[in-house]
Amino acid sequence: MSHVFSRATIHPLRACVVLALVVCAAFVMPAIFAAAAPSASTVEVNITKFAFAPKEIAIAPGTKIVWTNHDETPHTVTSNDKSFASKGLDTDDKFEHTFASEGDFTYYCTVHPFMTGVVHVHKQ
């Protein structure tokens, strides 16, 4: 009886170790590979207090930027060369764009043209 009991108490510990290894393999290893290949990443830009934050950002080609409007006021993300343009973004709305090629891309909010930002896309 005591033999069964001790197996029952050790087994969850083993399961815990296995779980830790699985978590390590599932999350830590991809993170290491992702750090080695930054071209497939996503970067967040916040729209808050009538400004893009960060206003200026440098990324590698292939990076996706996700803008999120945290203001109570609608804003847009509109590039000066019209290569990308969001609809009017209400509170908590998101807009994303993947920058495939190198260059400097300036953008602004069509509702508030004083709101400007720039994305520098260069191999890093």
Which spans of this chain sit near Cu ion (rule: CB under 5 A)?
Answer: 75, 109, 111-112, 115
Quick one: 40 or 50, whose CB is closer to Cu ion? 50
Look up residue 90 and give its two tokens: 């209400």
Measured from the CB of residue 86, what is the shortest distance to Cu ion in angstroms?
A: 11
Measured from the CB of residue 47, what is the shortest distance to Cu ion in angstroms?
A: 7
Direct distance between the N- and C-terminal alpha carbons of the chain, in angstroms, rounded to an integer = 63
Measured from the CB of residue 109, what is the shortest distance to Cu ion in angstroms?
A: 3
Quick one: 11 or 94, whose CB is closer to Cu ion? 94
Quick one: 59 or 115, whose CB is closer to Cu ion? 115
